[in-house]
Chains A and B, each alone.
Chain A
Amino acid sequence: MISVTNLSKAFGDFIAVDKLSFEVRAGDVVGFLGPNGAGKSTTMKMLTGFLTPSNGEIRISDMAMDKSSKAIQKQIGYLPEGAPAYGDMTVVEFLSFIADIRGLKGQHRKDRIREVIRLVQLEEVLRRPVENLSKGFKRRVGLAQAIIHDPDILILDEPTDGLDPNQKHQVRELIKNFSKDKIVIISTHILEEVTAVCNRAMIIAAGKMLFDASPADLQKKSRYYQAISLHFTQLTDISGLAELEGVEDMEVDRHNGRVTLFPEGQQDLMPAVSAYIRDRGLQVDTLYQEQGRLDDVFRQMTEEVSA
């Protein structure tokens, strides 16, 4: 378990992290969201014991970071931002080095190295120096070193940055499989990633916590949550739609003619809308319920703070 109380970090006059408090329990997969410079990386650097907090306390597995950082670091796997690695080493040398530092020995060491190579699919680059690898491979080497000792806590700073969609999918699967009874904290800019892998979303901006709940709750904050989008095949009089029971607002996109109906509260408009269409025999080529646009929520929340 990770428990953070009033965590602050200042660099000179600049306050990067401002009195953050939160708890993370085993099984939590936390998505750390926030604009660039929000303090995500700084927080992660403090959680991993790289930076010393200016104020506040970090306790991990009932140990205080300032007293037993080495014992804590043994339980953590960390992928720093940009996935730094020793460029002059080959992939297999680098992973062996990390395995040695992590205290893995004998057959177990061999098995773990083989296992992580399989998990992140590094077979074809084992003998290549890290500095000659593509961005995607470098990132995967970083991931491999983070999970080599099968840590209880996995902290990944932008794990999918620079990966192609297939690789992103792979990394997400990896995180999902990893996370059964462990703690995973990932930072990302990609909001869909949070709904895809996380069961908890934290948004921070300007060093402050703005939101901490499930990704579904985050979607609920969107104006588009459960909104109905539809498009008519022919030009149709749509004024009646806005008058339907429970519709708060209607928007029509001038370019593509798409109609969006916003519900009052969290009503389900679908039955009313489909009945309306059926009764009048209207031709519709698209009709669906929106899940909430995270981008909007994110922008709204974080722009308020920085404004």
Chain B
Amino acid sequence: MANVITLFRREFSSFFATPVAYVFILIFLMLSGVFSFYIGNLYERGQADLLPFFNFHPWLYLFLVPAIAMRSWSEERKSGTIELLMTLPVTILEIMLAKFLAAWAVLGLALLLTFPLWLTVNYLGSPDNGIIIAAYLGSWLMAGAFLAIGICMSALTKSQVVAFILAIVVCFVFVLSGSSIVLDAFTGWLSPLLLDTLASFSFLTHFESMAKGVIALDDVGYFVIVIGVWLYAGLLAVEQKKAE
């Protein structure tokens, strides 16, 4: 555990030693603002809630989270520091957890910095703040799922660009499988059971109620499992590919 903390500190500060974290947070804040106000019509809806803001999160994460995850392992392999790291008395699991938690913390920070939106709706009306907090937590959890996919893809390749693209593609599949475009296309020639299964793999399906502030055990469980599975897959990939 002490190792995870030490590794976490290194990973976290390396986000800020390079402009990565600043650029990420800045773009996240700008885009979430643009989406909520111009496309989500936060004002015009005349409702004191942050639903338009949260609804766009899956699409924001789709491109932004892979950008923050892509360097996690690729960089280590490219620069050879993976050899240094893995001959220190730390386990791959500890490294993996530290990398995940550090990047997740950056995502959490980006979410926290959207607080002016929350102030705005509180100034304009009286929203249910419990719902907003629940939606924030749900969004952060979903960001973790995107992140786990991105880190796993980063473990597969030395090239950050390849890792980025792979992560977007896989994340896209996970987002899209629950969208009406895909589900409509399959309606009619897939049995409803299969269709439900397909939809149940989607981030959108599980985030839908979270964005409304409903934290259901199965949604939380789903994201936790997705995070666990992808991080474990990444672990195996690192073990397999470290020497290449």
- Which A residues lie at the B interface, using CB under 8 A? 11, 45, 48-51, 70-71, 73-74, 76, 78, 80-82, 84-89, 93, 97-98, 100-103, 129, 145
Binds A, one of B29-37, B80-88, B179-187, B221-229: B80-88
Residues of B within 8 A of A129 (CB): 17
Asked if B90 and A45 make an inter-chain contact with CB atoms under 8 angstroms apart, the answer reads no
| CB < 8 Å neighbour of A101 from B13, B81, B88, B243 | B88
Asked if A70 and B87 make an inter-chain contact with CB atoms under 8 angstroms apart, the answer reads no
- Which B residues lie at the A interface, using CB under 8 A? 2-3, 6-7, 9-10, 13-14, 17-18, 79-81, 83-84, 86-91, 242-243
Asked if B14 and A51 make an inter-chain contact with CB atoms under 8 angstroms apart, the answer reads no
Residues of B within 8 A of A76 (CB): 87
| CB < 8 Å neighbour of B87 from A80, A82, A85 | A80
Whole-angstrom CA separation of A86 from B90 in the bound complex: 17
Whole-angstrom CA separation of A128 from B179 in the bound complex: 50
Chain A residue nearest to B10 (CB atoms) is: A97
Chain A residue nearest to B3 (CB atoms) is: A101
Asked if A80 and B89 make an inter-chain contact with CB atoms under 8 angstroms apart, the answer reads no
Asked if B83 and A73 make an inter-chain contact with CB atoms under 8 angstroms apart, the answer reads no
Asked if A85 and B84 make an inter-chain contact with CB atoms under 8 angstroms apart, the answer reads yes
14 inter-chain pairs at a CB distance below 8 angstroms, sorted by A residue, are A51-B243, A70-B91, A73-B87, A76-B87, A84-B80, A84-B84, A86-B14, A86-B81, A88-B17, A89-B10, A89-B17, A101-B88, A102-B88, A129-B17
Residues of A within 8 A of B2 (CB): 103
Whole-angstrom CA separation of A87 from B17 in the bound complex: 10
The 10 closest A-B pairs by CB, nearest first: A84-B80, A88-B17, A80-B83, A48-B87, A100-B6, A73-B89, A84-B81, A74-B89, A70-B89, A78-B87
Say yes or no: A50-B90 contact (C-beta < 8 A), given A86-B10, A97-B6: no
Residues of A within 8 A of B6 (CB): 97, 100-101
B82 to chain A, nearest CB (A): 8
Chain A residue nearest to B16 (CB atoms) is: A88
Asked if B89 and A88 make an inter-chain contact with CB atoms under 8 angstroms apart, the answer reads no
Query: What's the A-B contact tally at a CB cutoff of 8 Å?
Result: 67
Told that A50-B243, A88-B17, A101-B6 touch, could you supply 9 new A-B pairs with CB distance under 8 A?
A11-B243, A49-B86, A51-B242, A80-B80, A80-B87, A86-B81, A89-B10, A101-B3, A103-B89
Chain B residue nearest to A131 (CB atoms) is: B79
Whole-angstrom CA separation of A50 from B167 in the bound complex: 27
Asked if A102 and B89 make an inter-chain contact with CB atoms under 8 angstroms apart, the answer reads yes
Looking at B81, B89, B243, the one whose CB has the most chain A CB atoms below 10 A away is B89
Asked if A49 and B84 make an inter-chain contact with CB atoms under 8 angstroms apart, the answer reads no
Whole-angstrom CA separation of A100 from B80 in the bound complex: 20
Whole-angstrom CA separation of A184 from B17 in the bound complex: 35
| CB < 8 Å neighbour of B242 from A48, A50, A82 | A50
Residues of A within 8 A of B14 (CB): 86, 88-89
Whole-angstrom CA separation of A89 from B13 in the bound complex: 9
Residues of B within 8 A of A50 (CB): 83, 86-87, 242-243
Looking at B3, B17, B84, the one whose CB has the most chain A CB atoms below 10 A away is B84
Whole-angstrom CA separation of A71 from B84 in the bound complex: 16
Asked if B243 and A88 make an inter-chain contact with CB atoms under 8 angstroms apart, the answer reads no
Whole-angstrom CA separation of A103 from B3 in the bound complex: 9
Asked if A88 and B88 make an inter-chain contact with CB atoms under 8 angstroms apart, the answer reads no
| CB < 8 Å neighbour of B79 from A81, A87, A103, A145 | A87
Asked if B88 and A98 make an inter-chain contact with CB atoms under 8 angstroms apart, the answer reads yes
B7 to chain A, nearest CB (A): 7
Whole-angstrom CA separation of A101 from B6 in the bound complex: 7
A8 to chain B, nearest CB (A): 15
Say yes or no: A80-B243 contact (C-beta < 8 A), given A86-B10, A86-B14, A100-B6: no
B155 to chain A, nearest CB (A): 16
Whole-angstrom CA separation of A81 from B243 in the bound complex: 13
A43 to chain B, nearest CB (A): 13
Chain B residue nearest to A98 (CB atoms) is: B88
A175 to chain B, nearest CB (A): 19
Looking at B2, B7, B86, the one whose CB has the most chain A CB atoms below 10 A away is B86
Whole-angstrom CA separation of A170 from B61 in the bound complex: 51
B213 to chain A, nearest CB (A): 39
Residues of A within 8 A of B10 (CB): 86, 89, 97
